[in-house]
Structure 1
């Protein structure tokens, strides 16, 4: 297919005159999509995210270590003579960092979000230049179904984890939960409830899933991106939870045509988890088998209803040149 921007550079045009680049577009010819595709293209956002996370953790460890040494110079001089003392010191540093897991996750997300937004915007601009058809953007009024399915899945899946007593078989899950929920409640709301979900949705759905989607079917892209999302949670309990929610979030993104939809759902799920843990909601549910069973069934029915509503959304791209007031920036 001819590239209209290349035609313009070579004096091309049509009966209405020479073609002009739309305002806001970068100048120069469009690059064929194939030149931007490949393994690195899909995985690059994830690599950047974890490089930043590792760097933040390392800087935190170094900073705390130097601070501790400056305050306890005499003790450290004595400890340097014993490998056992040095090992205990290293373990104490690790335990201290675990207490700040939530804050470090939030700081990493705060750094990564602008980078991912820049990459996300670049992908959208490139798609427009290459003539890639965009899915319709669902109106805000239909976001109620996203909030509903997110809330129902969050409570329902957590109830299933409690009923099955799956958490008791995973020491890693218990350690992760303890470290994440040991931070002040306000910090949990900010970091776990807002910053981390936005960051993860930009990485896993806005960039990784979307880039995979350009190479394969929806089911394939959703499966692989959700599998990676799950595995990186590090323990079996969170893996199962993350895979199920990852598939739902990918579907929501596909239907709503905007990364705001899965980001909103993810924020709702995390806020519910943080709040429910803080105020003992899950413990209250688990105290009565009939109660937790009934709530789980209601959640399943409500989530299914919301899914049917979402399924009815028409995500097919608008006709070229047509006007669609729901189409906006993703």
Structure 2
């Protein structure tokens, strides 16, 4: 009996992100249990004496234990985030390499890879986007009205700068790019136009970040990352932009750069305008990259149709 091809296609498109979320969830849960193990041992020893405690004392002990457990988990949240990201690499790297092998076997028409000399534009664009978007979030007070963002910021900047750069500047961007651009965007691109493929993968990317401020920031960043991947024809370009944006944000925050800009509205406005101008120039340079596969006619106007990838 033949299997339903639509079902197979559904799991090819939705399976990766469902597995990614599941691995991330269970990895965090497992690490949290390991972190809490010593404390839970103390709680268990206290519970053995509960027979001599009143019901109110037991309830107070349970409440204090819960609060203490949450405090411990929050204290180690940064490390939990980094280790959980590492847990997803076997899945994302396997799918990424499998898809690239599949493209070669099926001889799919792939975008030409941009030369090394075009990569500085991506790096400068990443820095400009980071500074410009951060300034806008501060100027519009978005960074201060979201409790979720404030909690995330407390977690992100709880460690020293070198550790922040390793985890948030390198590990997390690489794992996210492998999944959301290297796997999801590329798979959606096989069936859809660039705009739809970028939109679908970016929405999933944004949802993963969990709060309003990060959702908006990651949505704009995700669309830009998909465009860069499309133009450069390489995962490296999207990864370079993402890493640059994160590292610049970490360094400027640690050095008090954004605090210095926020102290004077004029500084903030000038930084925003300068970032928009520099980012626009870099975007125009990237837009001029010829990504069309060999033999593709200029009349196609930069659009690679879905039929070419089927």
Q: Which residue of 1 aligns with 2:91?
A: 115
Deviations 1:167-213 (A, max 9, x none): 22111110111112112322211110100000000100000111111
For 1:187 and 1:50, the matched residues in 2 are separated by 24
Q: Which residue of 1 aligns with 2:122?
A: 146
Q: Determine which of 41, 52, 57 is the counterpart of 2:23.
A: 52
1:201 lines up with 2:172 in the alignment: no
Distance verdict in 2 for CA 1:66–1:101, change over 3 Å: closer
TM-score where L is the length of structure 1: 0.82
Deviation (angstroms), 1:79: 6.8
Q: Which residue of 1 aligns with 2:201?
A: 225
1:268 lines up with 2:239 in the alignment: no
Q: Which residue of 1 aligns with 2:263?
A: 287
Q: Which residue of 1 aligns with 2:308?
A: none
For 2:69 and 2:169, the matched residues in 1 are separated by 26
For 2:32 and 2:46, the matched residues in 1 are separated by 19
For 1:262 and 1:149, the matched residues in 2 are separated by 11
Q: Determine which of 51, 54, 68 is the counterpart of 2:39.
A: 68
Instruction: Determine if contact 1:201/1:263 at 8 Å carries over to the other structure.
Output: yes
Q: Which residue of 1 aligns with 2:220?
A: 244
Instruction: Determine if contact 1:100/1:183 at 8 Å carries over to the other structure.
Output: no
RMSD, aligned CA? 2.0
Instruction: Identify, as 1 or 2, the structure richer in helix.
Output: 2
Distance verdict in 2 for CA 1:160–1:37, change over 3 Å: farther
Deviation (angstroms), 1:66: 2.2
Deviation (angstroms), 1:156: 0.2
For 2:50 and 2:273, the matched residues in 1 are separated by 57
For 2:218 and 2:249, the matched residues in 1 are separated by 13
Deviations 1:249-301 (A, max 9, x none): 00000000011111111111111111122121111100011011001100000
Instruction: Determine if contact 1:102/1:187 at 8 Å carries over to the other structure.
Output: no
1:98 lines up with 2:69 in the alignment: no
TM-score where L is the length of structure 2: 0.87
Deviation (angstroms), 1:65: 2.7
Instruction: Determine if contact 1:69/1:76 at 8 Å carries over to the other structure.
Output: no
1:87 lines up with 2:58 in the alignment: no
Deviation (angstroms), 1:89: 1.3
Query: Secondary structure of 1:172's partner?
Result: helix
For 2:117 and 2:288, the matched residues in 1 are separated by 14
Q: Which residue of 1 aligns with 2:14?
A: 43
**For structure 1, which runs of at least 5 residues remain unmatched after alignment?**
1-33, 321-330
Q: Which residue of 1 aligns with 2:280?
A: 304
For 2:73 and 2:124, the matched residues in 1 are separated by 36
Q: Which residue of 2 aligns with 1:235?
A: 211
User: How many aligned residue pairs are there?
Assistant: 287
Instruction: Determine if contact 2:27/2:87 at 8 Å carries over to the other structure.
Output: no
**For structure 2, which runs of at least 5 residues remain unmatched after alignment?**
297-310
Distance verdict in 2 for CA 1:37–1:126, change over 3 Å: farther
